[in-house]
Amino acid sequence: MPWAARRGVRHSAMTMLISFGAACPCARHLAGWFRPAAPHAMVRPMPRDTPPLPSRHQRADGAFDLVFARAPRGGKGPVTVLRDLYQQSPLRILFPTPEPGEPPTAALLNCAGGLAGGDALRQSVRLEAGAQATLSTAAAEKVYRSLGPETRVETCITLDAGAVLEWIPQETILFNGARFLRDMRAELAPGAVLLAAETLVFGRAARGETMTRGLLRDRWRLHGPAGLLWADALALEGNLAAPLLHPFGFAGAEALGTLLLAGGDAAAGRGLLRGLPESAPGAATIPRPGLLLARWLGRASAVREAVGAAIVALRAAQLGLPARLPRLWTT
């Protein structure tokens, strides 16, 4: 009803009450109830009893615990099967149908879409005796600029006797201002083989961003039956432009690729990698018997190509798998 019409109705009712005042002593008091309200009256906000709470950022605390085993299945010989799985959001493990000739594949997915300052991930993979599996990520991981807290990722790999694991996640992209702490630990029993590859990208290369500030601490520890086999640590903090641009540092490289083969034929693997076309500047060496280490520096796309070519060559020659990248890398 229009305001003018509503006002007319109220005035008529008030007039009736006032004219009825002689018969009803309360009419004058009741007439006050029909006093017209302002057409644009505003509701005043209620005062706060307590001051507002300071804003708090939501943090991710993800984890997974994955166990593969070798057991008879369907009347056939022993095959690798999933023994146990625990997962905590935002991490999820998916199991795409493997292509012919491929072992069981676990696809690691971060449902949060990236990692922010204060997020923490705990990853645990165990292969029981004789099991073989591949673990990769569905896409590159992103570590966003931090407002202060560090992003932490802890990975623990345990391989029992004769187990074979490919740990080949796609790139980790560090945004400018990211504060990233990563700790990788692996325990290998006699006869176990580990092919592990990780790539760090310093800034969003596709949009021309470089990493000039932040924190990066990347630590690897590899243990075998006789104890520590290999230890490596990278620490950068504060002004990162100088070490990333220095000719005796990273020489302006957009990305760093690291590949490790433990338990295989290191000498044959080194010769194989040295014979590959050089997509990015790199080198392969044997820090100790039975351990192959390769690294690449260069443009992000070139490092990805070099790491992918090395994975293809080594998985075919050392692990007896098809000479191709897992489907997760190509879709």
Task: Decide if 201 contacts 173 (C-beta within 8 A).
Answer: yes
Q: How far apart are CA 269 and CA 273, in angstroms?
A: 6
| 80/119 same-domain check | yes
- The tens digit of pLDDT for each residue in 305-326 reads 999 999 999 999 999 999 999 9
Structurally, the chain folds into a number of domains equal to 2
Quick check: is 45 in a domain? no
Kindly state whether residue 191 falls inside one of the protein's structural domains.
Answer: yes
- % of the chain with per-residue pLDDT over 90: 75
Q: What is the pLDDT of residue 172?
A: 97
In-domain check, residue 56 = no
Same domain, 145 and 10: no
Which residue range(s) make up the domain with 318?
Answer: 61-330
Reported as a pLDDT band with limits 50, 70 and 90, residue 51 is low
181 and 236 belong to one structural domain = yes
Residue 260 lies in a domain: yes
Same domain, 11 and 95: no
Residue 181 falls in which region: left (phi positive, over 0), alpha (psi -120 to 50) or beta:
beta
Q: Is residue 44 a part of any domain in this protein?
A: no
Asked whether residue 52 is assigned to any structural domain, the reply reads: no
Among 5-19, 46-60, 290-304, top mean pLDDT goes to 290-304
Q: Are residues 87 and 216 in the same domain?
A: yes
Dihedral sign of CA atoms 208, 183, 109, 195 in order:
positive
Both 158 and 236 in a single domain?
Answer: yes
Answer whether residue 50 is part of any domain. Answer: no
Residue 55 lies in a domain: no
**pLDDT higher than threshold 50 for residue 144:** yes
The residues that bridge with 174 in the sheet, in sequence order, are: 143, 202
